[in-house]
Amino acid sequence: MRKITATLIVMLGVIGCKSVNVSLPIPVKIAGRVTIEGPSADFSDTVLIPSYLLSDVIGEHVGDDEDIAVELESVVLVVSRDNCAENTVIEDGKVSIGLGVQVDSLASVEDLNLTDALGDTLRVRLYSSGVATLNAFAGNTLAGVDDLLVVVVDGTANPEPPPDIDFDLDVVFTFTMVVVREMTSIGP
């Protein structure tokens, strides 16, 4: 066994080792649940997502000396609870986000049947202003800024109540975190 270990050490010395930086993309997710309840066909509600949620997830994957960058990869919607009348449809739904008072459009849905969509992951087309806000949120989080991401969901449902509009919509944000790690490479 000692002979094999000694041989490996000599081989590595002859071949050589060097340090290289490797970029590793790692997906990280945060989510907010918006509960929509009310006696009107028109609805609007808000959820606040603190930056420490993103910071904690990032912290699970990086060391103190590693360089990282974070950008939005995707946003999906999930109808996680539906207590509306069967086949209630969101005729015109909007998701907006902001880092304060002003909110930017992020996504929209039309003709979404809550009964059919319950539990499904819904990919949505994103608007550039909302993407820019999410990337600013990620950048602020990396810089150590305590931010609150405001997520607003509003729209119109059909049929009109009664019964009341009553459902939960999860807004799931996936960011790609690129970590630059120093690794040892064997060879020239």
The residue ranges of every structural domain in the chain are: 18-186
Q: How confident is the model at residue 128 (pLDDT cuts 50, 70, 90)?
A: very high
Model confidence at 22, pLDDT cuts 50, 70, 90, reads confident
The predicted structure's pLDDT at residue 148: 95
Instruction: Check residue 140 and give its pLDDT.
Output: 95
- Cα→Cα distances 9→70, 114, 134, 186, Å: 39, 63, 49, 12
Torsion of CA 93, 31, 132, 60, to 10 degrees: -170
Task: Write the pLDDT tens digit of every residue in 132-141.
Answer: 999 999 999 9
| Angstrom distance (rounded) from CA 165 to CA 130 | 26
Pairing status of strand 89-98 against strand 148-158 = antiparallel
CATH 3.40.50 fits 18-186, yes or no: no
Q: Measuring CA to CA, which residue among 168, 187, 184, 8 is closest to residue 78?
A: 168
pTM of the model: 0.84
How do residues 61-105 score in pLDDT, each as one tens digit?
887 777 889 999 999 999 999 999 999 999 999 999 999 888 999
**Contact present, 173 and 8 (Cβ < 8 Å):** no
Residue listed under structure tokens 């919607």: 77
Phi/psi of residue 21, each to 5°? Answer: -95, 130
Give CA–CA dist 163/182, Å, rounded: 59
Q: Where are the alpha helices (DSSP H) in the chain?
A: 2-15, 51-59, 114-117, 128-142
Mean pLDDT of 133-153: 95
